[in-house]
Each structure stands twice: as structure tokens, then as C-alpha cells.
Structure 1
Amino acid sequence: MTPEAREARWSAALHVHGRRVTRQRLAVLAAVEQYPHATADDAATAVRADLPHITVQSVYVILADLTDIGLLRRIDTPHSPARYETRVGDNHHHAICTGCGRIEDVDCAVGHAPCLTPEWSPGARRMTIQIAEVLYQGLCDDCRSAAPSHH
């Protein structure tokens, strides 16, 4: 997809959600799309390549707003700042390497979204599940092969 087509797609999405199309919003969306699972600081660094005067605080505010309206998804992982991605609405999961911190997308674990049917504890007040967030943790192939073997 061309940069112009991406910008047109994001502009239309912003309009649908009642937001003005600004260079700052478009730059944040482009940065997160280019660097999936980006932290706010990663996004700010990428945005500053085109908009050198934008503040980190502005990027945080834009990320929060775009997450609130559903154009971005916030991922909270252990021992790491929040990360953001443009892949929304499909209830996919994530795998994180406990060695290097790399994050990979994992499609739905079982069946249809929300993927997991909870076993309710006796006496629990049931609820309708809309999203199941699963975080797989382990070593990626690179970290596993670099680890010393224990014989």
C-alpha cells in the first residue's frame, strides 16, 4: 500500500471517529503501523523524524486518544512499558520472549473470539466475555539457541 493510500485510510478512520485529521495524528498512526508493538518512546522517536518539534507528551496524548477510539490497541506486558499496535478488532494474542523481549502476534488460540470460555468458580457472578487477552511467555528460537546448554 502506498503512503498516500495509508494516509487516506487513516484520514477516513479519524473522520469516522469524529477526530480532526492532523499531521501529528497521522504521523503517530504511521509510526505505530511501521513499528508494530512500539512503545510510546519508540513512536515519539519515529514521529520526530518528520515532526521534530512534537513533544513526547503530545505523542502520549495522541496514543491514548487513538486507543480510546479503537484505532490502536494498547498491549501491557510484564517488565516493559505499554506497547501499541494498529492490528485491532480481531482479539489476537501475543508471545513475548523472556530473553530478548521480542513480541510476536499469535492468532486466536481456540475457536472464535473471544477464544477462551472461562470456567466460572462456584458462586461467581458471571459476565459476558468480550475479549480474552492471552500473553504467551517463553524463549524465542534465537535466545534458546544462544543459551548455554545444560548437560
Structure 2
Amino acid sequence: MADTVTPEVRSRMMAGIRGRDTKPELALRHALHSMGFRYRLHVRSLPGRPDMVFPGRQAVLFAHGCFWHGHDCHLFRLPATRSDFWQDKIAGNRVRDAGAEASLAGMGWRIGIVWECALKGRTALVAGEVFARCAEWLRSPAPHLEIRGRG
């Protein structure tokens, strides 16, 4: 299927997609901050540059977009246009994510991942439930957290 816009327009559209301060990330940040959690944002010295770093709790939290990280949910669909490019791009993102998680775990960090589908779309959980689960995990010694949408 041919693209419906010119390559220049598509390039500008793709360049406008945020890598940080996304809606799911902002929702998590605001909710956790209101619960009294304090964190640092996008710490460059840590592998994967986590979205939120809780140094006192030795924990990091990622807010992963389902498309960009190739999640197996209804929000991910491989584009029909340039599918080889997108398959390689998303596979590379997955490899990079796995490497960052392994490095962080090796450094003693606890790792939490909240998928976009947990906060958006037809499988979304109640937002308050997602935030409460994050808070509970941050207070616990559990090494890993993953929150995804229903089903």
C-alpha cells in the first residue's frame, strides 16, 4: 500500500513524535509525585536512560510506548509501508531495551515497566490501579514490575 503523504511530510510527522514527556509518562510522573515519590528524569549516566529514577529506592521506571517497543498488544501493528525498515527498527529497539535492562539489573537497580496499553486503548486498566501498583512496587523490595493492559 502506498503512503498517502509525501516523504517530506511523513518525515516531519515522524520527527514530531516525542521520545520523552509522553502522555503516559507524564501521567505516571504526576501521580507518583502526588503520592510523595521523588525521582530524577532521564538520567543519561544509566543504561537506557530510564524515564524515572528513584535513587533512594534503587529503582527505575520506564513508560514504554507499545509501538516503539514492539509490544504484543492491540496498539502495535507493523506498518505496511517500508515494513522491512520498521521490523528492523523495532527489533533493534527490543535488543537495546533488553541490554539496558540487563545492565541495570547488573548494577543492582530494580526495574519497572509500564506499557502504554495499561493506560490507553481498549485494554487499559483503571489509571488509579496502575499508579497504586507502581507505588506498591516502589515501596517493596521486589526486583521487577511489568504492567500491561488487560488480556
TM-score (normalizing by structure 2):
0.29
Higher relative contact order (CA 8 A, sep 6+): 2
Larger Rg: 1
